[in-house]
Amino acid sequence: MTDGCDGEVTDDATDDAKADGGWTDAEEEIMLATYRALLEHGYAGLSISRIADELDKSKASIYYHYDSKDDLLGAFLAYAADRFQSSILTESGDDPREDLERVIEKLLPLRPDEEERQIQAVFLGLRGQAVTNATFREQFTELDEQLAATIREVVERGIDEGAFRDVDADRVAEHVLATINGAMYGRATSDRETAVAAVRVSLSSYLDAELRRS
Amino acid sequence: MTDGCDGEVTDDATDDAKADGGWTDAEEEIMLATYRALLEHGYAGLSISRIADELDKSKASIYYHYDSKDDLLGAFLAYAADRFQSSILTESGDDPREDLERVIEKLLPLRPDEEERQIQAVFLGLRGQAVTNATFREQFTELDEQLAATIREVVERGIDEGAFRDVDADRVAEHVLATINGAMYGRATSDRETAVAAVRVSLSSYLDAELRRS
């Protein structure tokens, strides 16, 4: 996620150039700097100053794009959702059942590395703010909508292709998303390491039973 | 949850009297005052002063029992877990499948009232702290352990009585707990109201399929 973040933005033309996901190069640089600052300082220690340090630019160059730290973090959540979505689309293959496992492993890795643990802790911190902060709440509503849609679409594809039986794809998607979110949340806030492994096995067997054509 | 919280503790003998769950009357009064203060001010606005106000006593009378706000909140989580556990035990009936639904409805009510919404938001706030705070992390580890054990025991009873087939009770319990926690967490941090209803239906049909004797 750090590729291309050391480049210099030299003129307004570059500033306005839209990258793939509808983000300008300048915005994307700020997003990557935000990501690094979050990993380093956590949500509580995040400031525009620290993002500017990561960016090697002035705070003004950030305020030019975002009015406040919350505004920037709202954009960051949207950016992370876009990135996740494209990585899922890129990697989807021929077998919808395998694609489902891939989405699950991405969202709830069995053995997360240090960076994955940290980014999940960061998201949990941001998500906690969504209880009272309307901007974050909106972003997490969209993020969950998007994740549920990703899972639902794989299930629907499986049904269309005749690989899965004709289940209520929406219901299955909400179940999978809630189970993943709950296990992720549990792992970040307790010391019950074996719980995630039990959930992963159980989720797979739920999907096998639910989707299997009889 | 407010019964008995207006009484006065008048002497040390009362102070040391243990209530049912191993809590002295004085401790229980402080817990109930903490509960009211949390509902009123949320986690962020909670202070020993405000709990003392609810208790109508001096701050010293709280510090006599608890060294710090975090110490007190750790005890509060243990108290809430005890209360939850006893309410489940009191209400368990003859049908393990119905008992499971009752536990699920208690943890993830389909139509939570205002107080249930507030207390879930409070728990979410406390749980967010568990990412970095060891005391809270320990308490949430215990809380989840206890909830998983409650669900597991109902499943085991159903197996012993021949009502359920011989499933891996631990795995089912972890799945149910993760799904409940994820849906609860989603409801408190996004505006996807219909998601919980979908999860409740799906969780019931998962349990029917998983536990049904063929």
Residues with pLDDT less than 70, chain B: 1-21
Q: Measured between CB atoms, does A141 come within 8 Å of chain B? A: yes
Mutate which of A107, A118, A132, A174 to test chain B, going by most B C-beta atoms within 10 A?
A174
pLDDT in tens, A171-202: 999 999 999 999 999 999 999 989 999 999 99
Domains of chain A in start order, with CATH, are 9-66 (1.10.10.60), 77-211 (1.10.357.10)
Mutate which of A151, A175, A192 to test chain B, going by most B C-beta atoms within 10 A?
A175
Pick A202 or A14 by higher pLDDT. A202
pLDDT in tens, B8-65: 434 444 445 555 568 999 999 999 999 999 888 887 788 999 999 999 999 999 999 9
Cβ of B131 within 8 Å of Cβ of A140? The answer is no
pLDDT at A48: 95
**pLDDT averaged over chain A?**
87
- Residues in B closer than 8 angstroms to A185, CB to CB, are 127, 181-182, 185
Helix H, strand E, coil C: the string for chain A is: CCCCCCCCCCCHHHHHCECCCCCEHHHHHHHHHHHHHHHHHCCCCCCHHHHHHHHCCCHHHHHCCCCCHHHHHHHHHHHHHHHHHHHHHHHCCCCHHHHHHHHHHHHCCCCCCHHHHHHHHHHHHHHHHCCCCHHHHHHHHHHHHHHHHHHHHHHHHHHHCCCCCCCCHHHHHHHHHHHHHHHHHHHHHCCCHHHHHHHHHHHHHHHHHHHCCC
Q: Measured between CB atoms, does A119 come within 8 Å of chain B? A: no
pLDDT at A115: 86
pLDDT in tens, A148-158: 999 999 999 99
Q: How far is CA B54 from CA A107, B6, B36, B77, B174, in A?
A: 43, 10, 7, 18, 37
Mutate which of B41, B119, B131, B206 to test chain A, going by most A C-beta atoms within 10 A?
B131
Q: Measured between CB atoms, does B202 come within 8 Å of chain A? A: yes
- Residues in A closer than 8 angstroms to B127, CB to CB, are 128, 185, 189
At residue A30 the predicted structure's pLDDT band, cuts being 50, 70 and 90, is very high
Residues 30-89 of chain B with CB under 8 A from chain A are 42
- Residues in B closer than 8 angstroms to A179, CB to CB, are 175, 178-179, 182
Cβ of A206 within 8 Å of Cβ of B203? The answer is no
pLDDT in tens, A107-144: 999 999 988 888 888 888 888 888 888 888 999 999 99
Q: Please check whether residue B79 is in contact with residue B31, taking contact to mean a CB–CB distance below 8 angstroms.
A: yes
